[in-house]
Amino acid sequence: MLDQFLHYLTVEKGLSDNTIEAYITMWAVLDHLRSKEIQDISRVDRVNLRAFLTGLRRQGLSTRSIARNQAAIRTFFRFLLLEGILESDPAEDWESPKTDKHLPDILTLREVEVLLEQPT
């Protein structure tokens, strides 16, 4: 099932290798579900998925990392729905956690001067 999902991401969605690497998180999700004795993917519900994300929070992952994991989970279950493997999506209508916004770094005055001194 995960091999089909990764093939879908690579071939049909055309995602880059780095993006695909981010979706490897689904192995951790499935391991978590197996540890809760959930072998049948159709038995997964929103509570199971939230428990996984809560575990990530307890491990100290940033809000941004948790949001990435949540996005991967949503995409995976949407894929299972599209493939007819599931009849309903336990991650449907899931809201992503709010992530902190950071201002971009700015150049120092000296860095600007060096740039302006470059030949054109």
pTM equals 0.74
88 dihedral zone (left: phi>0; alpha: psi -120 to 50; beta): beta
At 58 the pLDDT is 94
- Residue ranges with strand state E in the chain: none
- Provide the residue ranges of all domains of the chain, joining segments of one domain with +: 2-117
SS3 77: helix
64 vs 97: CA distance, rounded Å: 8
What one-letter code names the amino acid at 45?
A: D
Domain 2-117, CATH among 3.10.20.30, 1.10.10.10, 1.10.150.130, 1.20.1730.10 = 1.10.150.130
pLDDT in tens, 69-95: 888 899 999 999 999 999 999 988 877
pLDDT at 29 over 70: yes
